[in-house]
Amino acid sequence: MKKIKVMITLCLLLLSGCSASNEIVDELALISAIGFDLTDDNKLQGTITVPNFQSDKTVTTEVFTETGTLIQEIEAKLNSEANQPLAIGKLEVILYNEKVAKQGIRKMKDVFVRDPSVGSRARMAVVEGNTKDVLTREYWTHGAGLYLAEMFDQNFINGRMPQSNIHLFTFALYSKGMDPFLPLVSVGKMVKINQIALFKEDKYVGKLPEDKTFTFHAMKDNFQDATYMIKKEQGEVSAAVNNIMSTRTVDFGENIKDPKITINIRLEGILREFKTEEEVDKQKVNKIEKQMEDQMEQEAKEIIQTLQELNVDPLGLGNKYRGLNRNFDEKKWDEMYKDLDITANVNVIIREFGIRR
């Protein structure tokens, strides 16, 4: 309980102490990204980034990091470092490390939601490792907050990752028959958004690996302009399907009281590049379509197994079921979900093909 109070204290500090209502923008230090970590002694460490736009159109980033247990202590430290009042009106990204996310982020997240200066499109993510390591990288060309925001957005737009932001997380958190998820950021030589963090209510409980993110996206949403890699049994990439348009429907079967759920996924795309020594014709293309269908259906099977083992429903199947059953009981759904018969049916159509290697 003490840990949670510390987290809320820092959030309130950043929000109340950084109000911009009566300030001139040029006289403010606008926070672009915030990260929260837990130290080894279970104190909360907050890292904030402030971009500085130079006259030569380059951007430098100031980083402030403080750890504490009392609001007066943290506030004094931050005020002693910042040369202008801090404000969050341009907040782009909110990061939580795994330790923080496992404890639950509802109250921390709600502090930002209640602040009208924070936009509903502010991106949130969980970080493997420390958020400070992400926010203090030296290779950012536009400042950490803007760079991360653009990295999130291009992954959303290109279909590699399902759309996520503070508004969508909040909607899933408070909706019946649905659990939230967030992008999961890995920190190594490069920072990558390549996994999906799964939540039970507001607590981080598991993840989906990089090779499952596309299929998870196809099981959850309609999207277009994505790319999928078809692999051989040894794991070597043998073909790339581009310009994919994916649509999905969910069928609950004939007996609504005992649903048998089928997620139907239809994908249309272009075979841009493939590795084969055979002459490519319609028959070969049909084989590639079948290979992609089988691969995605196997990935979907593994995803469903993971979700049911964790008893989380980021696909929102319960929310759809609620629309069909006027007697929907969320507690009963939660109990039956892990044993439901859920399968995916994938139909791939390759419209044209190109380069052979």
Per-residue pLDDT tens digits for 175-196: 999 999 999 999 888 889 999 9
Residues 6+ apart with CB under 8 A from 348: 241, 267, 268, 269, 289, 290, 292, 293, 296
Per-residue buried b or exposed e for 162-179, using 16+ beta carbons within 10 Å of the residue's own CB = bbbbbebbbebbeeebbb
**What's the number of CA atoms in the CB half-sphere (13 Å) around residue 125?**
32
Backbone dihedral angles phi then psi of residue 277, each to the nearest 5 degrees: -100, -5
Helices (H) and strands (E) in the chain, counts: 11, 14
Looking at residue 225, its amino acid is: D
**Mean of the pLDDT values across residues 9-19?**
53
CB 331 within 8 A of CB 227: no
**Secondary structure of 276-307 in the HEC alphabet?**
CCCCCCHHHHHHHHHHHHHHHHHHHHHHHHHH
Contact of 107 with 7, CB cutoff 8 Å? yes
Of the listed ranges 9-13, 62-66, 118-122, 352-356, the one predicted with least confidence: 9-13
Query: Can you tell me the distance from the alpha carbon of 352 to that of 272, in angstroms, rounded to the nearest whole number?
Result: 8
pLDDT tier, 276 (very low <50, low <70, confident <90, very high otherwise): low
Tell which wins on pLDDT, 236 or 107: 107
Picking from 221, 173, 176, 219, the residue whose alpha carbon sits closest to that of residue 200 is 173
Least confident of 17-21, 38-42, 48-52: 17-21
Residues recorded for the chain: 357
Provide mean pLDDT across the span 219-241.
Answer: 85
- Report the CATH fold assignment for 210-357: GMP Synthetase; Chain A, domain 3 (3.30.300)
201, 316, 347 from 177: Cα distances, Å: 11, 6, 27
Q: Is the pLDDT of residue 46 over 90?
A: no
Residue the block writes with tokens 């044209």: 352
Q: Is the pLDDT of residue 304 over 90?
A: yes
Q: Among 328, 313, 305, 343, which residue's Cα sits nearest to residue 256? A: 328
Q: pTM score, two decimals?
A: 0.88
Residue 181 structure tokens: 């998820």
Residue ranges matching CATH 3.30.300.210 in the chain: 210-357
**pLDDT band at 30, cuts 50/70/90?**
confident
Which segments of the chain are extended strands (E)? 29-30, 33-38, 44-53, 59-68, 86-87, 93-97, 123-127, 181-187, 191-200, 203-208, 223-231, 237-251, 260-274, 341-356
**121: Cβ–Cβ under 8 A, 6 or more apart, which residues?**
165, 166, 167
In the chain, % of residues over pLDDT 70? 81
Strands 181-187, 59-68: pairing is: unpaired
**The pLDDT value given to residue 220:** 96
